[in-house]
Amino acid sequence: MADVEKTEEMHKLFDKTAKVYDQSGVEFFGPIGRRLVEFSGVSAGQSVLDVGCGRGAALFPAADAVGADGEVIGIDISEEMVKYAREDAGRRGLGQVTLAVMNGQAPDFPAARFDAVIGSCSLFIWTNGPDDVRPYRELLRPGGRFATAAPSFFSTLRGKWALFPEAVNDLLMPYMLTSLKQNGAYDSQFANAGSNWLATPEAIEKTLTEAGLTDVEVREEELPVVVESGRQWVDFTYTTGMRGMWERIEEAERAELVQEVSRRLDGLRDDSGSITTPVPIVYIRANAPRD
């Protein structure tokens, strides 16, 4: 898992991003969170831990799934993320939801506490192998479900990443790699793509099996991300962890890059005037042994 310095980097980034996180008007984290909860099989009356809950993309669908007789605990390293998620939970009247500021890399709960441990677009940031996954398995009751979702890393073996539209991958990937080398927060998932446990379905199954989980299922599905302009896509990325990449680029160079990215994406408009870029998302589920 990430060391103290890298954890602090994540903390600062997501505290800074929390106010606008998933608030750009572009449908992204919400659909992924809803699909993850559906894929996880969370059901009424269960106890669920949402690791790296952000502003609630999976937290609130999980609350709907478990109902008033269940419970969902959301944890996030960012105080600001937790603040906004707690406010939203209150407005929704979700008494079954509890939120806490906690480092998702070291969740502080008793063993066998939960029926399900989920993480939507979060766990991939800091998990590098079975040793990092094992703590989540230990939180599960016998037969409990581990489930996570992430932008697909299957294409990283070809020097690409799912979050970047094909038309701008060659522009942005070098900046992403430079940013990652500077802050270290997500480094292994890119720089060591060949050994990344998320790079292939086989690697995922091997990692989760070695972590003590069983019945591993991996599914890649395309999420259509719709924007009205190339600039809206750029603005959307500022409301995600990709903000860290943009902020590490010198101002004048960044302005030129934004202009070129916007120009290329504007060339993808369909007859309705919208731009749709398919983003492959990987959904993963596995079970804790029953005995």
Among 40, 17, 8, smallest CA distance to 136 is for: 40
Residue 142: CA count within 13 A, CB half-sphere: 2
Among 48, 98, 88, 40, smallest CA distance to 70 is for: 48
Q: Give the mean pLDDT of 144-160.
A: 87
Q: Give the mean pLDDT of 116-122.
A: 96
Helix or strand run (H / E) with residue 128? none
pLDDT over 70 (residue 290): yes
Contacts of 161 (CB under 8 A, 6+ apart): 151, 153, 155, 169, 173, 176, 190
Q: What pLDDT score does 179 carry? A: 65
Where residue 163 falls among pLDDT bands split at 50, 70, 90?
A: confident
Cα three-residue angle 59-18-6, rounded to 5 degrees: 95
CA 100 to chain centre: 18
Q: What pLDDT score does 70 carry? A: 98
Q: What pLDDT score does 181 carry? A: 62
Q: Provide the residue ranges of all domains of the chain, joining segments of one domain with +.
A: 4-164+194-224+279-287
Question: Cα–Cα distances in Å, from 140 out to 51, 62, 118, 287?
Answer: 13, 16, 11, 9
Q: What pLDDT score does 39 carry? A: 98
Question: Cα–Cα distances in Å, from 197 out to 114, 125, 220?
Answer: 25, 12, 15
CA 120 to chain centre: 4
pLDDT over 90 (residue 269): yes
- Predicted confidence (pLDDT) per residue in 230-265, tens digit: 999 999 999 888 888 898 899 999 999 999 999 999
More confident residue, 194 or 130: 130
3-state SS, residue 250? coil
Q: Is the dihedral of CA 35, 39, 43, 48 positive or negative?
A: negative
Where residue 10 falls among pLDDT bands split at 50, 70, 90?
A: confident
% of the chain with per-residue pLDDT over 70: 92
CB neighbours of residue 125 within 10 Å: 20
Q: Crossing angle of helices 79-92/4-17, nearest 10°? A: 50
User: Among 19-23, 140-144, 269-273, which is the least confidently predicted range?
Assistant: 19-23
Which range is most confident: 4-8, 22-26, 42-46, 121-125?
42-46
- Predicted confidence (pLDDT) per residue in 18-30, tens digit: 788 888 899 999 9
CA gap 114, 73 in Å, rounded: 10
pLDDT over 60 (residue 2): no
pLDDT over 60 (residue 177): yes
278 DSSP β-pair partners: 224
CATH code of 4-164+194-224+279-287, in short, is: 3.40.50.150
